[in-house]
Structure 1
Amino acid sequence: MKPFSLFIVLCCLAGSTLAAPASYVLENTEVRDIRAQALKRDYQLYVALPDSYRQGNKRYPVLFVVDANYSFPIVRNIAQRLNKHAGMEEVIVVGLSYANGDGGVYSRRRDYTPTTPRKHDYRSDMPGRQPAFGEAKAYGQFISGEVFPFIAQQYRVNMQRKVFIGHSYGSLLGLQFLLTQPRTFEHYILGSPSLWYDAGVMFEREQAYAASHKDLPASVFFGIGGLEKLAAGKKRSRSEEDADMVADLREFDGKLKSRKFPGLTTRLRVFEDEDHASVFPFVLTHGLRAYLTSAK
């Protein structure tokens, strides 16, 4: 081998032993492991603390956001930006991860959906495991019964000012709370809920709730992209393929308003030119503004 070639090889070998670049870490964030005892699964909580957290004894509103693998940094960063540049009060953000060892699609289908669809042809994203559905009630009990006490014990949160944040299937989980235990959260931010799921089962749940209750004490902000509608020429139905999500959400919000529940406040915003993938930051920003006050 020529000396120059040998030099190149040695340099490459030396370079391969260098330490990998450091990961980017969000400031004032923590990761906590938590066991869901009844579910016999392990999860993580991603916690973002406000800049002033170490400076006093203040208790902060707390935002609980599902699909945290995607949404946690978005919620954390937008909440901080609204505080610094728009005067909104500071918050603590708690992101709920997917179950350890589960694929994201598998975990959210199981944990966020209210039922097993009566008709479906879904495939699992986890080889060797059939897709799972319909554990929203049990997962919700994990949040209220285990996550809440843990967060209340470990952090200075105001548990009288809890906000639920979800999108798509995550909003189905929010509706599960809303139509069973609405006081679990003081405010709900629900983006692009998959109301077509299981042939529109949440419309059935809403009707059943209204038939047996005189009030629904909750504050809800609904948001959706204006492009989440049915393509021209197609007939709307309660199926994923033929769903008009904008029309579905307008119908659902209209039904809630028609009940005239004295304790219910809902707001609906359609963000034109946004689709299912792009709308979440807009829903979040306006949903926070609908609840959080300006910093004093």
Structure 2
Amino acid sequence: MATSLSMLGFATDLPAQQGPEPIPGAETFGPRWQPAGTAQFDLGPAEGRFRILVSLPDQPPPEEGYGIIYALDAGWTFGTLRDAVRMRASPYAHSGARPTVVVGIGWPTDTLIDFDRRGPDLVGQGTEGPGRAATLELIETVLIPRVETALPVDPAHRMILGHSFGGAFALQARAERPGLFSHIAAGSPSIWTDAEALFAAAGPGGAPVLITIGGLETPERAAATGAPADRIARLIERDMFGRAERMAADLGADFVVFDDVGHGASVTAFLARAVAFLWAAE
């Protein structure tokens, strides 16, 4: 039987999120649209609240339960993932994917992104917010029980997903909470933020891992495209490509390079590949 948003105990009559000032004349096109089957609520302590978005599949849950993706940086990942899982699990897609819930983890801002808290909350860099360990604790002990008490979920298809800082967070979650997630997806992970600890914890076995990287995240390729000197210097210092490749080898992970895109532009390809990875060989 299909599960409604109201059955989950999530507010469905919340006002539409306020975005940037509208383009002059845009109001002539009509009212703001919100995706159907999507709810939002805030979670966490007053000094460090997160905004959670939940997208339910159109289809009723299969016997095994829904697949589920917990996605960091909801402002950059939630919408694309929502569309990707619906398209891939469509009965017309013949992809083998089953209906999948997407849980976006963001911050209570107009964009769902908070640059002051993002570093501390995901990789422990900075001083704002409760910190990376507290974020993982909240996901494990509060968010997952709230969502999965209300929804039939298949724990064999429970993914944690993140890009950049979020990718490093996903790798840390694998190391610190083995068995909590069935699949790990890390796009262009910022391993440089805690390379020693991440590599010390790396090893084959455990949850399958997907690591992706943009082809232009090597200093040589970036320089060939005319990237500014400060960008090239950061790529050299952080060794984004080299560390991602080494981490994939250490973990026995799937390693995918998206040619001709850099760090930010690789996000959409990463998200689509992550959905396929969750349902590979199904």
Say yes or no: does 1:158 pair with 2:167.
Answer: no
* Structure-1 residue corresponding to 2:70: 64
Say yes or no: does 1:253 pair with 2:248.
Answer: yes
Aligned-partner Cα distance in 2 for 1:249–1:207? 10
Aligned-partner Cα distance in 2 for 1:193–1:68? 16
Q: CA offset at residue 274 of structure 1?
A: 1.4
SS in 1 for 2:253: strand
Cα gap change, 1:163/1:176 in structure 2, threshold over 3 Å: closer, same or farther?
same
Aligned-partner Cα distance in 1 for 2:151–2:51? 16
CA RMSD of aligned residues (A): 3.3
Among 200, 203, 207, the alignment partner of 1:208 is 200
Q: CA offset at residue 20 of structure 1?
A: 9.2
Aligned-partner Cα distance in 1 for 2:63–2:94? 23
Q: CA offset at residue 239 of structure 1?
A: 5.5
Q: CA offset at residue 253 of structure 1?
A: 2.1
Larger radius of gyration: 1
Say yes or no: does 1:284 pair with 2:271.
Answer: yes
Aligned-partner Cα distance in 2 for 1:104–1:173? 16
Contact kept, 8 Å, 1:48 with 1:94, in 2: the verdict is yes
Contact kept, 8 Å, 2:41 with 2:53, in 1: the verdict is yes
Gaps of 5+ in 1: 1-15, 117-130, 258-264
Aligned-partner Cα distance in 2 for 1:114–1:134? 9
Aligned-partner Cα distance in 2 for 1:46–1:103? 13
How many percent of aligned residue pairs carry the same amino acid? Answer: 21
Cα gap change, 1:20/1:287 in structure 2, threshold over 3 Å: closer, same or farther?
closer
Q: Please list every run of at least 4 consecutive aligned residues from structure 1 whose deviation after the TM superposition is greater than 6 angstroms.
A: 55-58
Q: 1:166-209, CA deviations, whole angstroms, 9 ceiling, x for partnerless residues?
A: 00011111121122122221101110011222xxx22x113433
Q: 1:102-143, CA deviations, whole angstroms, 9 ceiling, x for partnerless residues?
A: 961112112101455xxxxxxxxxxxxxx5388211110000
Cα gap change, 1:274/1:32 in structure 2, threshold over 3 Å: closer, same or farther?
same
* Structure-1 residue corresponding to 2:262: 275
Aligned-partner Cα distance in 2 for 1:247–1:209? 17
Gaps of 5+ in 2: 1-24
Number of residue pairs the alignment of both structures matches:
247
Contact kept, 8 Å, 1:171 with 1:191, in 2: the verdict is yes
**What letter corresponds to residue 54 of structure 2 in structure 1?**
V
Among 101, 110, 118, the alignment partner of 1:92 is 101
TM-score w.r.t. structure 2 length?
0.76
Q: CA offset at residue 93 of structure 1?
A: 0.7
TM-score w.r.t. structure 1 length?
0.72
